[in-house]
Amino acid sequence: MLGVLLLLAAADPLTAPAVGTAATCLIVGRQLDYKVASADVLLVRAGGRWHRSRLPDGCPGLKPNMIIVRRDASPRACANDLFEVKDNFTPQVFSLCRFGRFEPLNKASRF
């Protein structure tokens, strides 16, 4: 049992199996957490679960130390919504990208 939990905790976000069908939108609680898996995949934590969003056109400026700013202030984050990738120290926008559908990952997954 512990071995399975450790395996899930160290899962590769690019190859971890989705649990259920991909959602078009996520309800935004108080905040969303983001982690960059690659220039094509963004991990989004909402509702106590990580979701994988495969970015439809990729996002060339997306790197782990960048800030992600949603352009829409609605209570939902949806596929095809735009977000900006900004530097932490300057107002420069490096990319304007779109979310893909949100694939739910196992609740025990940690990234």
In order along its 111 residues, the chain shows pLDDT tens digits of 434 444 444 568 788 888 989 999 998 876 678 899 999 999 999 888 899 999 999 998 888 888 888 887 788 899 999 999 998 888 888 899 999 999 999 987 777
Task: Say what the pTM is.
Answer: 0.81
Beta-carbon count within 10 A of 103 CB:
21
The residue type found at 4 is V
Neighbouring residues of 91: CB distance < 8 A, sequence distance ≥ 6: none
**DSSP state, residue 89:** S
Q: What is the pLDDT of residue 2?
A: 39
If 0-12 CB within 10 Å is exposed, 13-18 middle and 19+ buried, where does residue 32 land? middle
Measured between alpha carbons, how far is 31 from 47 in angstroms, rounded to an integer? 10
Q: What is the pLDDT of residue 55?
A: 95
Q: What is the pLDDT of residue 5?
A: 41
